[in-house]
């Protein structure tokens, strides 16, 4: 359903906000749940549209998923009914490629539609294929589907040319049921990878070293332990509120976070001149002075997260000087620049770099979210702009942020979400 957010700028955000469970950890763990032979309970699952889509996909494959309360659900997969995820179900969500590893490991075969490119880049899957092939799978592409099969998987030593989050997760899930030991070298170190490993260990896997660049997995025969597992807090949601607080000159306490996971952003915000005080599971963000320009390069964790790049660009549009933001993960993630320009921002994109020259004030405009984080960035820009900003394509924001409007309104923002009938989506297709 197409949505738009209307925000009126000029109110400093004040108060406290609690972050939800991490979208990217929840998506991976829901795919990993396919490996569990016993019923499990998952807590701190954000009920957002990406999560609903992955639940539809695993339900189609044979999982029984029951919401128990607002953010907790149970999953049981006594047997898989299908090894093929249909295009209609998974096209909405790139993360459905995380079904490859677990379905292959559990059934010896899997078919999922080859994901297309997306608004932020081409996003190939060569490293996923390299890893699964090394474990003994035959991987082919047929009629738009990835088809992986292997009567048995065998442990292997796999070096990733790039520490891909998805490839690390897929290989780790497949290797849990492989015969013998697997080593993933140059593995992704993102907290969501660690959370998935902790969940898998909870159901009986033997994974060591998650969070470092070498992950060792000793294959086991089955993953049959019942558990009750709580997903980590969403560091990107927390980061988005930190930036919104800083941008509006407010004072916000962000609760239920793991401050260490947000350290790369905290360090940059301090450089920009924002006060960030870390507690055990809270962060207090306050802006007391002019924003200074900074240079930022996005990198795999523990570097600066690409998923915070757009929001920080929105902040830097009103810094007192020129900042340079280099995007090293995706080749096409500066589309937010042209929307921010419509609000009066001065941003020049040169290849992988965005040069942001601070201006004294943004002004409200009609803009369009090109992806989830760009959408959040435009709302932040709207919070500091003069007059009214209309962010179209806001359904993309709700893919990843639970109760976005409610949480911002709770901090004093003047913000409303509307459903738009007959709107066209970014690709120009009529939306229902």
**Can you tell me which of 329, 356, 383, 408 binds ligand UD1, judged by CB under 6 A?**
329
Stretch that binds ligand UD1, among 55-63, 116-124, 238-246, 404-412 (CB under 6 A): 116-124
Structure tokens belonging to residue 382: 């709207």
Instruction: Name the β-bridge partners of 357.
Output: 322, 346
**Can you tell me which of 3, 306, 323, 370 binds ligand UD1, judged by CB under 6 A?**
306
**Can you tell me which of 61, 125, 269, 274 binds ligand UD1, judged by CB under 6 A?**
125
**Can you tell me which of 14, 16, 123, 431 binds ligand UD1, judged by CB under 6 A?**
123
C-alpha distances in Å from residue 266, one per residue of 210, 260, 329, 420: 23, 9, 20, 36
C-alpha distances in Å from residue 377, one per residue of 241, 247, 274, 369: 11, 11, 18, 9
Distance CA 216, CA 157 (A): 9
Structure tokens belonging to residue 99: 């079904």
C-alpha distances in Å from residue 273, one per residue of 72, 238, 266: 38, 18, 11
Q: Residue 115 or 259: which CB sits closer to ligand UD1?
A: 115
CA-nearest of 347, 348, 384, 382 to 365 is 382
Stretch that binds ligand UD1, among 82-90, 118-126, 276-284, 288-296 (CB under 6 A): 118-126
Q: Which residues of 275-308 are buried (b: 16+ CB within 10 A; e: fewer)?
A: ebeeeeebbbbbbeeebebbebebebbeebbbbb
Examine residue 330 and tell whether it contacts ligand UD1 (CB under 6 A): yes
Q: Tell me how far, at minimum, the Cβ of 231 lies from ligand UD1, in Å.
A: 13
Active site residue 118: yes
Structure tokens belonging to residue 137: 């799978």
Q: Where are the alpha helices (DSSP H) in 137-286?
A: 165-175, 191-202, 235-248, 263-272
C-alpha distances in Å from residue 135, one per residue of 104, 127, 171, 224: 11, 13, 8, 22
Cα dihedral 59, 60, 61, 62 sign? positive
Stretch that binds ligand UD1, among 119-127, 149-157, 175-183, 357-365 (CB under 6 A): 119-127
Stretch that binds ligand UD1, among 126-134, 199-207, 247-255, 352-360 (CB under 6 A): 126-134
**Can you tell me which of 17, 34, 95, 377 binds ligand UD1, judged by CB under 6 A?**
95
Distance between alpha carbon 267 and the CA centroid of its chain, in Å? 21
- The DSSP code sequence of 323-338 is EEEE--S-SS--HHHH
Decide: 321 and 291 in contact? Cβ < 8 Å.
no
Options 118, 176, 284, 363, the catalytic residue: 118
**Can you tell me which of 2, 27, 65, 411 binds ligand UD1, judged by CB under 6 A?**
27
Examine residue 252 and tell whether it contacts ligand UD1 (CB under 6 A): no
Sites for ligand UD1 among residues 130-189 (CB under 6 A): 162, 164-167, 188
Cis geometry, peptide bond prior to residue 302 (ω within 30 degrees of 0): yes
Sites for ligand UD1 among residues 257-296 (CB under 6 A): none
**Can you tell me which of 126, 185, 281, 387 binds ligand UD1, judged by CB under 6 A?**
126
Q: Tell me how far, at minimum, the Cβ of 236 lies from ligand UD1, in Å.
A: 8
Q: Residue 87 or 162: which CB sits closer to ligand UD1?
A: 162
Stretch that binds ligand UD1, among 10-18, 41-49, 122-130, 255-263 (CB under 6 A): 122-130
Q: Tell me how far, at minimum, the Cβ of 388 lies from ligand UD1, in Å.
A: 30
Examine residue 336 and tell whether it contacts ligand UD1 (CB under 6 A): no
**Can you tell me which of 83, 106, 128, 268 binds ligand UD1, judged by CB under 6 A?**
128
- Binding letters toward ligand UD1, positions 369-398, x by CB under 6 A: ------------------------------
Q: Tell me how far, at minimum, the Cβ of 130 lies from ligand UD1, in Å.
A: 7
Examine residue 127 and tell whether it contacts ligand UD1 (CB under 6 A): yes
- Catalytic site positions: 118
* Binding stretches for ligand UD1 (CB under 6 A): 24, 27, 95, 121, 123-128, 162, 164-167, 188, 192, 306-307, 329-330
């Amino acid at each position: 359903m197409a949505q738009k957010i209307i925000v009126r700028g000029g109110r400093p955000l004040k108060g406290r906000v609690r972050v939800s469970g991490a979208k990217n950890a929840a998506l991976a763990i829901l795919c990993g749940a396919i490996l569990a032979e016993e019923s499990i309970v998952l807590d701190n699952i954000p009920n957002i549209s990406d999560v609903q889509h992955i639940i539809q996909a695993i339900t189609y494959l044979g999982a029984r998923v029951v919401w128990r309360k607002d953010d907790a659900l149970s999953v049981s997969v006594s047997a898989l009914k299908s090894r093929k995820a249909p295009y209609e179900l998974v096209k909405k969500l790139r993360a459905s490629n995380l079904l490859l590893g677990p379905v292959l490991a559990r059934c010896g075969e899997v078919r999922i539609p080859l994901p297309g490119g997306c608004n932020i880049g081409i996003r190939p899957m060569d490293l996923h294929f390299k890893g699964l092939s090394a474990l003994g799978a035959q991987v082919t592409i047929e009629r738009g589907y990835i088809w992986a099969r292997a009567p048995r998987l065998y442990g292997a030593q796999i070096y990733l040319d790039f520490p891909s989050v998805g490839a690390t997760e897929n290989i780790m899930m497949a290797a849990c049921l492989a015969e013998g030991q697997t080593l993933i070298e140059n593995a992704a170190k993102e907290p969501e990878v660690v959370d998935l490993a902790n969940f898998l260990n909870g159901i009986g896997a033997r994974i060591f070293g998650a969070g470092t660049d070498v992950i060792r997995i000793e294959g086991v025969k089955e993953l049959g332990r019942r558990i009750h597992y709580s997903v980590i807090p969403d560091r990107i949601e927390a980061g988005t509120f930190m930036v919104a607080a800083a941008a509006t000159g407010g004072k916000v306490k962000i609760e239920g976070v793991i401050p260490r996971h947000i350290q790369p952003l905290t360090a940059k915000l301090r450089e920009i001149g924002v006060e960030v005080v870390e507690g055990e599971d809270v962060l207090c963000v306050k802006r007391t002075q002019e924003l200074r320009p900074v240079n930022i390069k996005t990198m795999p964790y523990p570097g600066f997260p690409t998923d915070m790049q757009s929001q920080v660009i929105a902040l830097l549009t009103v810094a007192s000087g020129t900042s340079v933001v280099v995007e090293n993960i995706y080749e096409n993630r500066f589309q937010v620049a042209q929307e921010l320009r419509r609000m009066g921002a001065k941003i020049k994109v040169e290849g992988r770099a965005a040069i942001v020259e601070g201006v004294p004030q943004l002004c409200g405009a009609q803009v369009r979210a090109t992806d989830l984080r760009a959408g959040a960035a435009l709302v932040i820009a709207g919070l500091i702009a003069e007059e009214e900003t209309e962010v179209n394509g806001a359904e993309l924001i709700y893919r990843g942020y639970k109760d976005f409007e409610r949480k911002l309104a709770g901090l004093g923002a003047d913000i409303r979400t509307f459903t738009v009938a007959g709107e066209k989506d970014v690709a120009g297709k009529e939306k229902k």
